[in-house]
Amino acid sequence: MNYDMGFRFALEKQQWIREHITLLEQKHEKKSNINETDEIVTRFHKVKIARHTGHNIMSRKVENNITLFFPEAADLDSIKYQEIIKAFTTEVLRKEAKNYLPGRIQKLAEKNGFCYSKVFVKNLKSRWGSCSAQNNINLNLHLMRLPEHLSDFIILHELCHTLHKNHGSAFHALLEKLCGNEKILNKELKIYRTQL
Ligand SMILES: [Zn+2]
């Protein structure tokens, strides 16, 4: 639909949209605290939270395990510490993503005969990736928390957009040809969140 129609639709459904934004935010807040019981598994690392007797916050890396240490008394569920944990983990993911994703998309593009302009690695809030009209591709750094076949599925989805800008039947036929069963992969993807 065109922009005006879309705008009118959004205005009409304003109340519904607001209510659901609030619900989604509540859901997000409840689910998303990270503490000592969690282990964040990235493609190349495991990030863990622990306590130590010191008064500072420090991290230690032993092979693939990265541990972020907090003082005994720190209230890890507080906004302040949650922000520190998330910022730290995001930087681990960003570094991995910048090392891995540009090479991976190049490989998948060459193998399947796609051309894209530039690739950007970003902390996208609600999507795994996007492809612009100029065929610049944005990839979410949280792809590093997905198994490789799902990360490849997202990358191929965006590469298919270099040829088909919409999600029409030609788009799905191409993606299906490259990935196998799109429905199953989308279902698998549902258990992962696009942010921490
Ligand atoms: Zn798409």
Name residues whose C-beta falls within 8 Å of residue 106's C-beta, 6 or more positions apart in sequence.
none
Q: Please write the tens of the pLDDT for every residue from 145-188.
A: 999 999 999 999 999 999 999 999 999 999 999 998 999 999 99
Residue 184 C-alpha to ligand 1 middle, in angstroms?
Answer: 16
Residue 49 C-alpha to ligand 1 middle, in angstroms?
Answer: 35
Residue 154 C-alpha to ligand 1 middle, in angstroms?
Answer: 9
Give the per-residue pLDDT at 63: 96
Q: Residue by residue, what is the 3-state secondary structure of 148-187?
A: HHHHHHHHHHHHHCCCCCCCCHHHHHHHHHHHCCHHHHHH
Choice between 4 and 88, residue whose per-residue pLDDT is larger: 88
Residue 66 C-alpha to ligand 1 middle, in angstroms?
Answer: 34
Task: Enter the pTM of the model.
Answer: 0.82
CATH class of 32-189: alpha beta
Q: Please write the tens of the pLDDT for every residue from 7-23.
A: 899 999 998 888 888 77
For the chain, what are the domain ranges? 32-189
Kindly calculate the radius of gyration of the chain based on its CA atoms and give it in whole angstroms. Answer: 20
